[in-house]
Structure 1
Amino acid sequence: MPRKKTYNYNNIKLIVSAVFIVALVIGLLQWINSRKVKFVHYEAFGIDMPVAFSIHGIDVSRYQKKIAWQGVKEMNVANIQLNFAFIKATEGVTLTDKQFRYNWRQSKKHEVPRGAYHFFVPSLDPVQQAKYFISRVKLEKGDLPPVLDAEVAGILPVNVFRARIQAWLDLVEAHYKVKPVIYTNAAFYEKYMGPGFNEYPLWVAHYYERKSPRISRPWTFWQHNDKGNVNGIDAKVDFNVFNGDIIAFNELLIQ
């Protein structure tokens, strides 16, 4: 009669545990790698560019002086072009960026998809700020949605600050019939805004980050660098990417 095989169940448990741990580690490494964004340095831009994204853009204000928009439009480095521009329009209740009208007209003339943003001053009436922005910015078909730049809260309690930016967002959305984009940095969003504003497209600033922006909610635009070079601009420029393909980008534009 043949001998029955005997099994050391303790050894089997150890083997199963080891296999599980290895699989877990491999999965974790794959997840980490999936969050990495490949950057390539381009001398013409003067910065490292996240080449996993296909749609790149800039944002400008009076600090970029008088821009030669034809140079912006024609710049092409290794098939990377600048596909959009956010332009500062207003601040508070009385300030219009001195280059806004010129930038707004010239970007349109040179067929650079454009968006206008308002720098929010928390100590001032949000309704008056929204009305001031609306009085200065006429959005047209093919433009990006309006943007609220909210990056300072001053001495306001969080709940008051949130109520004020919500008032601006509500009035602007009602006027333009499109949901505004919120611009801020990752840490500020987490501290002063949070889940109550997750329905709005987010343009998040997180410079020199070698992965995607460290923020817990989905984002639409990522401002990844503030020291880029662009043909036609005699100053350093903020660089951004859109988190999606050309179809998603076109769907975001005002119809």
Structure 2
Amino acid sequence: MKWIVLLLLSVTSVIPLSARAYICENGAEVKNENYCQFITYGPEKTIIDDRFVWAMSPAPGDHIRSIALVVGIGKYPHFNGDSISKAVENDIDNLTKFLKEDQGFDEIIVLKNEDVTQENLNYFLDEYVPNQGKKYRGFARFLMTYSGHGLHLPNALPHNTKQQGGRKTSRVPISPKRLETPRAALLLSNAESELDTLHSYPLENLKRQLVAISPDYFHVLALINTCYGGAIYGWDQGAIDDNTMRGRGAFAMTAGSNDMQAATLGKENDGSIFFDSIIHSVKMGSADPTALRIAIDGKTVQRGGFVRLGALATSVSTDYEDINSQNIVTTTGVLQLAGPWVGSMEPAGVNARGGFFFLTPFFLSNGLAAPILPPVPSSSVPNHPEIQVFAAPEQYPIRGVDVSAHQEIEDWNFLAKQYRFVYLRGNSWHGPDPVFAKRWEYLRQMGIDRGLYVVFDYCSSALHQMQYLSALEAIDEEALPTVIDLEEPSINESPQQLECLHKSGVSATRKAVLEMAKILNKKFNKTPMIYGSQPMLNAILDEHFSPYMIWLSTLKKASLPGDDNLGLYGANPWTLWQYSSREIVPGIKRPIDISVFFGDEAM
């Protein structure tokens, strides 16, 4: 496809549609000919990157379109504000090239320096961009970027400053207690000084426009690199999910908080630190290696392809930390950057169900010829159970926990609101779990889906274990399938179990586990599940276990499982995936294990 780029100083002929509309030479439909010069426009594509189709699921006949508004102000002729001119120029050039060549954007609007006027911004954000969203019936993506000076505005708006923890990047502060926070604005090129509020564009106006745009687009994202940019959020928001790609949502990510200045390292080819980090992280594929992984016979054969917004924000924050560690001295002291802020641009009361994503290279291995884009949620490719799927855990809507006497639970109601199911431990190698019976009955009364897991004893026969497992007496028709937990014994914590396992050998242990599974199946008329780590399951399970469900644990010291401990041998994909042991839940004193179910409610 040939792109027609119209330079700002070129004379562009137009074909009048009516007294109020024109079609530019490149096909863009605008209010008048003056706007043609800002738009790089491509026709509707007949071939769309499969990743957009996979994430957005358009109906037959619907077109997917990606539209960007790139805004940058580096020249301020009325005062000494040109110190960032080279960085902003680089940002504009780098972003335009990145969006066109790497991200498949169909349409890029560029406003630079003196062309960034209130009139132009209002036209594109209030008229042109909303009209394009309506034209494509909600299957368009809109990205706005800004790089330039910002300033504080008087008359503070009510806001709050409590930050949400749990990750390096700060979500927009949300708190019942409202405090005063500064307003801020984008400083326009015709400003007379750094404090010229008359020639500025208030961030609350920009948020109003983005919120109004959001219902007509699948994804909306504003990337704001300016001093005090975090002030755009301004008030409390609904829930957000910036790590899920396949739901619609509108977000902003700012280079810092509402009181932090933007920065550049200042070399000839440097843009802002914020945008340089974003582009580098996406192009190198380092920002989000866990967005979608495929494994065959216990080996990861595909990763990459996507960078989710939440993962990108974390990557930028990590880059900031690396720069901070260098103790770079500036005119105002040692450079110290805080993490970017991410927040919703949705209307009041609307929750963002998904976040903007960028495209990054796929990494394929072990002879995989082309990327696989399986249905999600899923644990395998349809009709190919040997090709196992590990999407980002956030892509699986049904989540649950497993708890034992080690976790003191003070607020079961919160647990019930956050998680779809709970598995309780019935026993350990030291005997029955002392709180199982009480918790089992409590969960029954609350109506929470619950199940029992029993720790397999390598020193006892399956029949003998069934006789002394008192927790089995509590199983009722409403219970989830019972789980046989194949824990890995260690020389320090369970030397007797380790000795028994070695003495019995793999063959005898496999036979005993299979016998217990058959007994449980017959007793409760429900197919039991086998739990274990990748090494344990690969060692014990064989084709005789194909009728039984698998609960795969990939717990490790890292926050998320790496490529080396995903996937199982054979063609029996996981039903539950225990991906984290670090979940912090209010009302529970210790971190707990989190698992996801491979499907949705219908399954």
RMSD over aligned Cα, in angstroms?
A: 2.4
Pick from 577, 585, 589 the counterpart of residue 222 of structure 1: 577
Cα 1:135/1:240, change in 2 over 3 Å: closer
- The residue number in structure 2 matching 1:10 is none
- The residue number in structure 2 matching 1:127 is 463
The answer (yes or no) to whether the contact 2:436–2:471 under 8 Å persists in 1 is: no
Query: Aligned runs of 1:196-211 on 2, under 5 Å?
Result: 196-207=544-555, 208-209=560-561
Query: Aligned runs of 1:1-255 on 2, under 5 Å?
Result: 28-31=369-372, 35=389, 37-38=391-392, 50-74=393-417, 81-91=418-428, 95-133=431-469, 136-152=472-488, 154-155=501-502, 156-207=504-555, 208-209=560-561, 213-216=566-569, 217-248=572-603
Amino acid at match of 2:420: N
Aligned residues: percent identity? 22
Amino acid at match of 1:191: A
Cα 1:158/1:60, change in 2 over 3 Å: same
Query: Per-residue displacement from partner, 1:99-128 (whole Å, max 9, x unpaired)?
Result: 211221222222220000110111112211
Q: CA deviation at 1:210?
A: 5.8
- Residues of 2 paired with 1:232 and 1:72: CA distance? 8
- Residues of 2 paired with 1:143 and 1:136: CA distance? 11
Structure with bigger RCO (C-alpha 8 Å, 6+ apart): 1
- Residues of 2 paired with 1:83 and 1:135: CA distance? 22
- Residues of 2 paired with 1:165 and 1:36: CA distance? 26
- Residues of 1 paired with 2:576 and 2:369: CA distance? 26
- The residue number in structure 2 matching 1:22 is none
Q: Which has the larger radius of gyration?
A: 2
- Residue ranges of structure 2 left out of the alignment (5+ in a row): 1-363, 376-388, 489-497
Amino acid at match of 2:438: Y
Normalised to the residue count of structure 1, the TM-score between the two structures is 0.72
The answer (yes or no) to whether the contact 2:529–2:550 under 8 Å persists in 1 is: yes
- Residues of 2 paired with 1:179 and 1:136: CA distance? 15
Normalised to the residue count of structure 2, the TM-score between the two structures is 0.32
Cα 1:36/1:114, change in 2 over 3 Å: closer
Q: CA deviation at 1:84?
A: 0.3
Q: CA deviation at 1:232?
A: 2.2
Q: CA deviation at 1:33?
A: 8.9
Q: CA deviation at 1:135?
A: 5.9
Cα 1:33/1:247, change in 2 over 3 Å: closer
- The residue number in structure 2 matching 1:43 is none
Q: CA deviation at 1:29?
A: 4.8
Q: CA deviation at 1:36?
A: 5.7
Greater fraction of residues in helix? 1
Secondary structure of 2:594's aligned partner: strand
- The residue number in structure 1 matching 2:357 is none
Secondary structure of 1:231's aligned partner: coil
- Residues of 2 paired with 1:134 and 1:174: CA distance? 17
Cα 1:109/1:135, change in 2 over 3 Å: closer
Q: CA deviation at 1:138?
A: 2.3
Equivalent residue pairs, number: 205
Q: CA deviation at 1:243?
A: 0.4
Secondary structure of 1:184's aligned partner: strand
The answer (yes or no) to whether the contact 2:530–2:550 under 8 Å persists in 1 is: yes
- Residues of 2 paired with 1:179 and 1:185: CA distance? 20
- Residues of 1 paired with 2:437 and 2:573: CA distance? 32
